[in-house]
Amino acid sequence: MSEKPILFSGAMVRAILEGRKTQTRRVIKPQPSDEIDDLHGGEFRKRAPYKTECPATGRNVGFGFQDDDDRFWHCPYGAPGDRLWVRETWCPKADPLTSRLIYHSNGVGYQCHYRADGEEVFCDDVDGFTEWNKDGTFKSPWKPSIHMPRWASRITLEITGVRVERLQEISQADAIAEGAPPSHRSIDKVSQEFGFPDFSRSWYAQLWESINGKGSWEKNPWVWVIEFKRADGVSDE
């Protein structure tokens, strides 16, 4: 079993904590050609990624797909049973009386604030982590998610499934599993813009563009679809 970090925005962290998000889609890099759709007798989407071998040595070279020309697409997030630890915007927690950082009870790292929870943290509350701008003002105490160390992560996910598909093939049920609200109307302005008859998929298309840039939805890339459940002692049920 491997364990790797994965980034989520504050809104998606909240959706995971609330049990509304059990999937994430990430662009396959590099993008395979359209010919890959014919792989495995045209059932490429139906076949789960698998362990692949180097044709020269016979050694396992990773989890993903391999075509007839030995081109390989590796899933960087892992396989079912592997774990992902969530990186989110954070900062260490300080004692309000002494301004000293508060250690975890297990002695590994510090207790933390998490921005997704909507907490307000003042710069002078975080002794030892306070930084200043060039003009002498305080910098925000919040630390970017990309810089979160393992000890600060509060959410661990277990991968339950991996598959591939085109981005625009997302179903309404999968959009809801991505954190979208259930459709509460058949058509609206956003639905019309992205061509879906339901609000959930249109919401997800809008979210995708907000993260990946305008026009990224229209490109319709191949994506890894990662399904997961909480593995940090909290049930999604």
Mean pLDDT by 10 residues, the chain (237 residues): 94 96 95 73 65 72 72 85 96 76 80 88 56 65 92 96 90 95 61 72 92 94 94 64
Output b/e per residue, 133-168; b: 16+ Cβ within 10 A: eeeeeeeebbbebeebeeebbbbbbbbeebbbbebb
Query: How many CB atoms within 10 Å of residue 45?
Result: 15
pLDDT of residue 44: 64
Q: What are the phi and psi torsion angles at 216 (to 5°)?
A: -70, -30
Which residue, chain included where needed, has tokens 């079993």? Answer: 1
The confidence score (pLDDT) of residue 235 equals 52
Cα dihedral sign, 189-190-191-195? positive
Note the CATH architecture for domain 3-86+154-180+221-230.
Roll (2.30)
d(CA 113, CA 10): 13
Instruction: List the structure tokens of 44.
Output: 């490429």
pLDDT of the residue at 237:
46
83-87 and 90-92: which strand pairing? unpaired
Question: Which residue, among 176, 183, 198, 172, has the nearest Cα to 20 in the 3D structure?
Answer: 176
Residue range(s) of every CATH 2.30.130 domain in the chain? 3-86+154-180+221-230
This prediction has a pTM of 0.82
